[in-house]
Amino acid sequence: MKKLMLTSVTSLLFTAALAGPTLAQAADKPAGTLVVYTSQAPEIAQQTMDAFKAAYPGIQVEWTRNGTTQLMNVLHTEMMSGKVKPDVLLVADAINLGALKKEKQLYAYQDAPVDHLKPAFYDRDKTFFGTKIIATVIAYNTQRAKPVNSWKALLNADNKGQIAMPSPLYSGAALYKLHTDITTPDIGWNFYKQLAALGIAPQGGNGPALKAVASGLDKYGVITDADIIRAKKQGSPIDLVYPEEGVSYVTEPVAIMKSVHNLPAAKAFVDFLLSEPGQKLVVQQGNRPVDDRIAAPEGFVPVDQIKLLTPDVEKAVADDAQVREQFTALFGG
């Protein structure tokens, strides 16, 4: 009888030992609600959230989409009230996230999977991480205009009122371009002064600027390359040029808020975006991945054939208010 009891106890302990890791793994699997603020286009954001939920079915995602500047305004209001809602931010540029880092509002994810990323594509303190490479280039309507190979070549009297541009007061990519340009000797503030003299009125985001060029309303545009390539594939009379002076680029970084409510789910979101499936999703969405082991979609010039201009993000954060003020003085709010 004693032997039988010992055998039964041993069997139970063995079964528990086998079940233990499984139960622990189940307990460790991220779950609950994840709140995301993003500036991705609505249809792209929906694809991103759906793919993440498929990979992590235990996580419910609540997401809000708006322009980067609008999201930052909402976030700062929440910070002032002490009721910050998002766990994660997925926005266009590193300048806005750099400002949040300076305010000590971002979580440093030291174990983030960055082995396959170039250091230029993520924050050295690991508070935000690039997910794709989006360059701002010259777009032109193929039925109304000829390609030009430089930013300076746009500044022609024939193009008066005929260049569509998003506003850096709304678009994160446009803000990044502005900060990049003004510290690039071949471009500088002079480029913007001459645009203003041509009656150019930057407004809104890349979407309206793209439509203006694709429809022929404007001859040229200063627009992100992925949007142009996507429109061209859909049959719009539009094409692009990477100017010889170089191009600014954003990496649509992801960051975890320091006030995060669900850290395991937030880490899982970052992990997914930087993973091979996440980077393949970037390609499926028509963007250039930040992981160079994965090929860009058809139509993209190889990244090593493009002159990428990188601003000093910390300087951009420090100068941002003054730069916005100077831009507003040139073009209005």
3-state SS, 55-118, equals HCCCEEEEEEECCHHHHHHHHHHHHHHCCCCCCEEECCCHHHHHHHHHCCCECCCCCCCCCCCC
Predicted pLDDT at 14: 35
The domain limits of the chain are 30-131+251-297, 135-249+309-331
Q: Is the pLDDT confidence value at 205 over 70?
A: yes
Q: Which residues of 41-72 are buried (b: 16+ CB within 10 A; e: fewer)?
A: eeebbeebbebbeebbeebebebebebbbebb
pLDDT digits (tens, 9 = 90+) for 237-277: 999 999 999 999 999 999 999 999 999 999 999 999 999 99
Same fold, 30-131+251-297 and 135-249+309-331: yes
Q: Is the pLDDT confidence value at 25 over 50?
A: no
Mean pLDDT of the chain: 91
Q: Is the pLDDT confidence value at 16 over 50?
A: no
* Number of neighbouring beta carbons within 10 Å of residue 35: 20
Predicted pLDDT at 67: 87
Fold of 135-249+309-331: D-Maltodextrin-Binding Protein; domain 2 (3.40.190)
Predicted pLDDT at 229: 96
pLDDT digits (tens, 9 = 90+) for 94-150: 999 999 999 999 999 999 999 999 999 999 999 999 999 999 999 999 999 999 999
Which one has a higher pLDDT value, 25 or 83?
Answer: 83
Predicted pLDDT at 333: 73
Predicted pLDDT at 11: 40
Q: Does domain 30-131+251-297 have CATH number 3.40.190.10?
A: yes
Instruction: Tell me how far apart the alpha carbons of residues 250 and 273 are, in angstroms, rounded to a whole number.
Output: 16
Q: Is the pLDDT confidence value at 15 over 90?
A: no
**Backbone dihedral angles phi then psi of residue 161, each to the nearest 5 degrees:** 65, 15
Find the mean pLDDT for residues 38-54: 96
